[in-house]
Amino acid sequence: MAFFDDLTKMAKDVATVAADKTKDAAEQVKLSVAIAGEQKEIDKNYRTIGEWFVNEYEGEIPDAVRELVDAVTASKAKIAELEACKAAKDDASEPVSGEKACPICGAVSDSKFCPHCGAPMGD
């Protein structure tokens, strides 16, 4: 019986150590998530400050940040150009439909077999 008592005690000790390590790991993850959340908030606030500064002092941008402001302006122009191109393609293209009518029951589907009667839809 002493063997089983020792084995039980050893299993309890291992389980306690594992539980402690799991608890520590969970706390580390919580802290990492909290840090990442705060960093995201800082980044958002810096972005808001930068946007306000550029809008407020549009004609008086210091030389130290002029290249960055010009890069942002160029990126915004490129985005507008790409969105216009995308919209033009959407307007010009006709919807492509692979749907066929079933030769047996007339149901319309894009599958190989009719979902209503099971007949082959053909080519």
- Listed ranges 23-27, 39-43, 91-95, 107-111; the one with the highest mean pLDDT: 39-43
What average pLDDT score do residues 34-63 get?
92
On whether both 23 and 80 belong to a single domain, the answer is yes
* Residue 27 burial class via C-beta count within 10 angstroms: exposed 0-12, middle 13-18, buried 19 and up: exposed
Closest to 101 measured CA to CA, from 81, 84, 117, 78: 117
Q: What is the largest CA-CA distance in the chain?
A: 88
Measured from the Cβ of residue 66, the count of other Cβ atoms closer than 10 Å reads: 10
User: Two tokens at 76?
Assistant: 């915004």
Q: Give me the domain span that covers residue 121.
A: 98-123
Report whether 61 contacts 54 (CB < 8 A): yes
Element (DSSP H or E) covering residue 18: helix 2-56
Distances (CA, A) of 9 to 6, 16, 17, 22: 5, 11, 12, 20
On whether both 70 and 83 belong to a single domain, the answer is yes
The total domain count for the chain is 2
On whether both 79 and 102 belong to a single domain, the answer is no
On whether both 56 and 106 belong to a single domain, the answer is no
On whether both 63 and 47 belong to a single domain, the answer is yes
Per-residue pLDDT tens digits for 91-115? 654 444 667 888 887 788 888 888 8
